Amino acid sequence: MKSCEYQQIDPRALSVSPLSAQSHPQTKAQRPRRKWEVFPGKNRFFCNGRIILSRQSGVLPLTLGLIVITCGLFFAFDCPFLVEHLTVFIPVIGGALFVFVILSLFRTSFTDPGILPRATPDEAADIERQIDSSGSSSYRPPPRTKEILINQQVVKLKYCFTCKMFRPPRTSHCSLCDNCVERFDHHCPWVGNCVGKRNYRFFYSFIISLSFLTSFIFGCVITHLTLRCHAGKSLIQAIQESPLVICFFSVWSILGLSGFHTYLVASNLTTNEDIKGSWSSKRGAEDSGNPYTYNGIIKNCCATLCGPMPPSLIDRRGFVPPDEAAAAACTSEIELPPFTAKNDTNMCTQSTKDVLERMLHSSDFHGVCPAGPPKTSPLGLEASDSLGAARAPSMCSRRADSPCTTCARSRKDSLHSINPAFRLASPSPSLPRVNLALSDTQEKGFIPLP
Amino acid sequence: MAETHSLQELQTPPVSSKVFIQRDYTSGTICRFQTKFPSELENRVDKQQFEDTIQTLNNLYAEAEKLGGRSYLEGCLACLTAYTVFLCLETHYEKVLKKISRFIKDQNEKIYAPRGLLLTDPIERGLRVVEITIFEDRGVGSGR
């Protein structure tokens, strides 16, 4: 609260040129941004952050379409006949199952699967400082694994270069969504989202209810055809109108999938662990054994499906803090293209670039801007383009070692090392240009990943 | 370090460093933090007080994640209503999280702020770390 009040009479804001004075009221007048608007992962948000979806929504519309068409055909052609010949409860049960399936599907697709927010620059620096404390050269990449004991069993934690942290156990990084997801099961294209800790129970209830629905429809359709045969009516026409074919193929695959996931739930495994064979007995008797199991089918099922619902860690609808918002507002339009263009480069390059950017932007954006020549600092990007582009390469070659070393040094040191260079070459608004060039130079295999 | 001084800086002492208490995974994936006393806080706060704070936090998180009758009931109710009940009701976990933030605020006011420290609620860091901000000891009022 105090800092917001005092920002209005911040003497630094008074000393800058009119252009900057223009941009400052603009950023203040700009509505406060919500965290989902600056979320770094590949996700889409709707309803002002309430609904989260993967950017690659896969075949979710197809899934919906198949379910709706199948049920539609069932209600249109089979139900009237069956209501007449059997009971009125058939469409009632079908309707209830249909509603349950659709709600579970939406819950699975639109829920945050357990995304872990990326490490803040301070955290990342702290981790790198800890692992660099053995005093090696600045070009050595941080070790990628850390071994810990879980229930007397050795588990390796991997370092995530995108999120800049050691992944908690059972967490995996989804390359499609570009997020670390807790208790990562798999990325399901049918629901258009990852399946993880928070939405696994919804996913499970979706496939179980879908199994019931498809089996139910399949059964009703067979009954219908049988009755028609007995009644001597046209069989071919009945087959053409009923959803028999769709049902026939989907029943077996859905039932198979449900069976597989029931086995996973009962043994407290994830699809990811099962596929990799992390806890299989092939690895040796002393290594085997899932350290997370409760050694009881009922307990495993209850823990996985009926356990407490963990909260979303990414706080989509929270507001971005004002000091970060000011930095982000100036660079947000420029930041996005480099990130989207960087899909193919290795994660380490991107992560070191991120660390460099964030340490420059968030930690003393205020310090860098007016520190040097105030007249040039608030220049629009177009003015400093030529400056930045021309000088960036020379700066980059000198700066090539900075990402790793800045990670290792404290924030203050990094500012000292970067400030003079930026004051010489170009002020902070052209930082994104520098970073674009930086990324190009770094692609030449700067940090070799094993 | 800063070329200009603002009123902001004079009000709030600059941050000297941050200490991060990492998660303790020895009992599995439940939320627990390491109780090892970091060396940076040695002359700032009493070791026992710090350990008590972390231990209470751990107990609160254990309470949130406890598998018991209450959580099973909540889970079954949610399943029966096709998970729409979570749209209206607050889960047990969320209630405990509110309790935790009140506890942290309380601890900050009573113990840590007078010593120039600030505990950040782990939920703001994705339940990965307990971040302790160490303010420079300038003798200028307390931090935030």
Residues of B in contact with A366 (CB under 8 A): 6
Q: How large is the average pLDDT for residues A149-177?
A: 87
- For β-strands A179-181 and A172-174, DSSP reports them as antiparallel
Name the nearest CA neighbour of A132 among A142, A122, A124, A145.
A142
Q: Which of A312-326, B76-90, B96-110 has the lowest mean pLDDT?
A: A312-326
Predicted pLDDT at A225: 83
Q: What's the confidence (pLDDT) of residue A95? A: 93
At position A355, the amino acid (one-letter code) is V
Distance CA A78, CA A92 (A): 13
- Write out chain A residues lying below 8 Å of B118, CB-based: none
Q: Of B116 and A422, which is predicted with more confidence? A: B116
For chain A, the structural domain boundaries read 38-121+150-330+345-361
pLDDT of A405 higher than 50: no
Average pLDDT over residues A25-45: 73
What is the percent of chain A where pLDDT is above 90?
A: 16
Question: Residues of A with CB below 8 A from B78's CB?
Answer: 309
Mean pLDDT of A302-315: 85
CB nearest to B18's CB, from A116, A126, A308: A126
DSSP line for A192-228: TEEE-TTTHHHHHHHHHHHHHHHHHHHHHHHHHHHHH
The pLDDT, as a whole number, for residue B105 is 93
Bridge partners for A136 per DSSP: none
Q: What is the mean pLDDT of chain B?
A: 82
d(CA A111, CA A102): 14
Report CB contact under 8 Å: A100, B86: no
Whether B8 and A202 lie within 8 Å, measured CB to CB: no
Q: Among A165-174, A206-215, A347-356, where is mean pLDDT lowest?
A: A347-356
- Closest-CA residue to A116 (of A59, A53, A162): A162
The answer to whether B8 faces chain A, any CB pair under 8 Å, is yes
How many angstroms away from the CA of B96 is the closest CA of chain A? 11
| Cα distance between residue B56 and residue B51, in whole Å | 8
- Per-residue model confidence as pLDDT tens digits over B8-19: 555 666 777 888
Å from B53 to nearest chain A CA? Answer: 21
How many CB contacts within 8 angstroms connect chain A with chain B?
139
Q: What is the mean pLDDT of residues A126-143?
A: 64
pLDDT at residue number A384: 41
Of the candidate ranges A283-292, A300-309, B54-63, the one whose mean pLDDT is the lowest? A283-292
DSSP bridge partners of A115:
A181
| Averaged pLDDT, A236-261 | 79
Tokens 């991060």, residue located: B20
Q: Do A155 and B29 touch (CB under 8 A)?
A: no
Q: Does B76 touch chain A (CB under 8 A)?
A: yes
| A445 pLDDT higher than 80 | no
A143 φ/ψ sector (left φ>0, alpha ψ -120 to 50, else beta): beta
Q: Which of B6, B28, B97 is the closest to A151 by Cβ? A: B28
Q: What pLDDT is stored for residue A363 in this prediction?
A: 52
> What pLDDT sits at residue A8?
55
Instruction: State pLDDT tens for residues A80-129.
Output: 888 888 888 888 999 999 999 999 999 999 989 999 998 888 888 888 88
Q: Does B142 touch chain A (CB under 8 A)?
A: no
Task: Pick B112 or A343 by higher pLDDT.
Answer: B112
Q: Is 60 exceeded by the pLDDT of residue A423?
A: no
- Are the Cβ atoms of A201 and B79 closer than 8 angstroms? yes
- Which is more confident, A27 or B81? B81
Residue A380 has pLDDT above 60, yes or no: no
Distance, in angstroms, between A206 CA and closest chain B CA? 10
Residue A74 DSSP symbol: I
pLDDT at A149 over 50: yes
Closest chain B CA to residue A105: B82
Closest CA of chain B from A117, distance in Å: 6
Q: Does B63 touch chain A (CB under 8 A)?
A: no
pLDDT score recorded for residue A240: 66
Q: Which of A215, A205, A221 is nearest to A81 (CA)?
A: A221
CA A247 – CA A213 distance, rounded (Å): 10
Instruction: Tell me the shortest Cα–Cα distance from A168 to chain B, in angstroms.
Output: 8
Which ranges of A307-430 would DSSP assign to H, the alpha helix? Answer: 322-341, 347-371, 381-399, 402-408, 411-425
Which active-site residues of A does the annotation give?
A: 188
* CA nearest to A289, candidates A278, A299, A297: A278
A136-150, A205-219, A400-414 — which is least confidently predicted?
Answer: A400-414
Asked if B87 is an interface residue toward chain A (Cβ–Cβ < 8 A), one would say no
- Helical segments of B1-144, H only: 7-11, 47-64, 69-80, 92-107
Taking residues B106-120, report their average pLDDT: 89
Note the pLDDT of residue A367: 43
The residues in B 31-60 lying below 8 A from A, measured between CB atoms, are none
Asked if the Cβ–Cβ distance from B4 to A205 is below 8 Å, we say: no
Residues in chain A: 450
Question: Which residue does chain B place closest to A292, by CA atoms?
Answer: B28
Q: Hey, are the CB atoms on B93 and A2 less than 8 Å from each other?
A: no
Query: Residue A418's pLDDT is what?
Result: 43
pLDDT of A432 strictly over 90? no
Q: Which of B94, B121, B128 to mutate to test the interface with A (most CBs of A within 10 A)?
A: B128
Mean per-residue pLDDT of chain A:
70
pLDDT of residue B57 exceeding 70: yes
**Percent of chain A topping pLDDT 70:** 57
Q: How confident is the model at residue A11 (pLDDT cuts 50, 70, 90)?
A: low
The DSSP annotation for A157-186 comes to EEEETTTTEEPPTT-EEETTTTEEETT--E
- What pLDDT does residue A81 have? 84
Type of residue at A31: R
Identify the closest residue of chain B to A199 by CA–CA distance: B83
User: Are A150 and B27 an interchain contact pair (Cβ–Cβ within 8 Å)?
Assistant: yes
Nearest-CA distance B109 → chain A (Å):
16
Produce one character per residue of B92-126: b if its CB has 16 or more CB atoms within 10 Å, e if not.
bbbebbeebeebbeebbeebbbebbbbbbbbbebb
| Mean per-residue pLDDT, A121-148 | 71
Q: Tell me how far apart the alpha carbons of residues A108 and A66 are, in angstroms, rounded to a whole number.
A: 17
Annotate A366-385 with DSSP letters as a single string: HHHHHHS-TTTTT--HHHHH
Cβ <8 Å between B129 and A123: yes
Q: What's the full length of chain B, in residues?
A: 144
Q: What's the pLDDT tens digit per position in B63-73?
A: 988 888 888 88
CB A439 within 8 A of CB A334: no
Which is higher by pLDDT, A137 or A235? Answer: A235
